[in-house]
């Protein structure tokens, strides 16, 4: 969390008056530390696959590269590591774009049900064979949102993607969208899987925070998915809630604002 930091400055105005200023340094200090940590983490995440690519390519350039089996195997690894770098760079670019848009409210009219259909279809296709069913429960006539369609599809992609990665094979993933009170629309993505221990929950949306880094990496995770989700929710002035029970599963709820709050007065 943020620790309070105050700076006091006193200066003499004249013989018997002094000017005292109390300056709040809280944000600049915490923000600076976060920025330094972020650059260090991002560099580390990029360096690991790069070192591996360099090692394998050097070996391929030697006699070892003449053996067709070794060659095929090493090229596969080089490709996987290069793709990991590509995913990282894409996520880093998404994060910086969303941050750059922070003070520009989104203005597209978005049909959330349609976005859910598109993202679920794309993910179900991509993960074919993993035995993941995505069951959709979208209330008919769901109100439109005012939002950023690209960022909201990223949000859906990351949440449904996590449910597929961390849900138990063979169990369905449930996606719900329904009108809620006070002009909001509720989106829920729920899985039956590992779950997350309570002490990790508050830190999940930090950049590069993972419960099990090895597991996340082997599933193709970058550690940035939920940080992106959090930023998208903030830009939409919505709310994010992650509830989980270890060994049972995880339920992520996102509250978003309907374009015309009057349509769901309740």
Residues near ligand ADP (CB under 6 A) are 158, 162-163, 166, 191, 193-194, 196, 204, 210-212, 216, 221-227, 250
Pick 78 or 224: Cβ nearer ligand ADP: 224
Q: In the bound complex, what is the minimum distance in angstroms from residue 12's beta carbon to ligand ADP?
A: 52
Pick 163 or 185: Cβ nearer ligand ADP: 163
Pick 196 or 233: Cβ nearer ligand ADP: 196
Q: Residue 107: left (phi > 0), alpha (psi -120 to 50), or beta? A: alpha
Pick 142 or 187: Cβ nearer ligand ADP: 187
Compute the distance between CA of residue 185 and CA of residue 147 in angstroms, rounded to an integer.
12
Q: In the bound complex, what is the minimum distance in angstroms from residue 229's beta carbon to ligand ADP?
A: 7
Contacts of 194 (CB under 8 A, 6+ apart): 166, 168, 246, 247, 249, 250
Q: In the bound complex, what is the minimum distance in angstroms from residue 255's beta carbon to ligand ADP?
A: 18
Pick 25 or 83: Cβ nearer ligand ADP: 83
Q: In the bound complex, what is the minimum distance in angstroms from residue 161's beta carbon to ligand ADP?
A: 8
Taking alpha carbons only, the member of 204, 206, 225 closest to residue 37 is: 206
Q: In the bound complex, what is the minimum distance in angstroms from residue 7's beta carbon to ligand ADP?
A: 35
Pick 94 or 216: Cβ nearer ligand ADP: 216
Classify residue 192 by burial, with Cβ atoms within 10 Å: 0-12, 13-18, 19+. middle
Q: In the bound complex, what is the minimum distance in angstroms from residue 171's beta carbon to ligand ADP?
A: 12
CB 189 within 8 A of CB 173: yes
Tokens representing 150?
């690209």
State the alpha helices, DSSP H only, in 101-235. 112-126, 149-166, 213-218, 225-235
Tokens representing 145?
């949102």
Compute the distance between CA of residue 181 and CA of residue 266 in angstroms, rounded to an integer.
6
Q: Residue 217: left (phi > 0), alpha (psi -120 to 50), or beta? A: alpha
């Amino acid at each position: 969390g943020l620790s309070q930091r105050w700076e006091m400055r006193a200066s003499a105005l004249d013989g018997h008056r002094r000017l005292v200023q109390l300056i709040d340094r809280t944000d600049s200090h915490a923000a600076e530390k976060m920025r330094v940590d972020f650059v260090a983490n991002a560099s580390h995440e990029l360096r690991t696959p790069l070192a591996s690519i360099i090692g394998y390519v050097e070996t391929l350039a030697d006699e070892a590269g003449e053996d067709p089996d070794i060659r095929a195997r090493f090229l596969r690894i080089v490709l996987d590591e290069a793709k990991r770098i590509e995913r990282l760079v894409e996520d880093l670019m998404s994060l910086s774009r969303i941050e750059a848009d922070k003070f520009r409210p989104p203005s597209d009219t978005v049909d959330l049900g349609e976005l859910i259909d598109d993202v679920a279809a794309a993910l179900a296709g991509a993960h074919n064979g993993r035995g993941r069913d995505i069951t959709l429960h979208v209330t008919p006539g769901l109100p439109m949102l005012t939002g950023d369609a690209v960022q909201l599809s990223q949000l859906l992609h990351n949440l449904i993607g996590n449910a597929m990665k961390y849900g138990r094979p063979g169990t369905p993933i449930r996606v719900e969208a329904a009108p809620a009170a006070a002009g909001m629309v509720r989106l829920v993505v729920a899985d039956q899987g590992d779950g997350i221990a309570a002490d990790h929950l508050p830190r999940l949306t930090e950049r590069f925070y993972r419960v099990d880094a090895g597991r996340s990496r082997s599933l193709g995770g970058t550690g940035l998915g939920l940080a992106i989700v959090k930023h998208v929710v903030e830009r939409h002035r919505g709310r994010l809630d992650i509830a989980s029970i270890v060994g049972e599963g995880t339920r992520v709820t996102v509250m978003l604002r309907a374009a015309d709050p009057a349509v769901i007065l309740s």
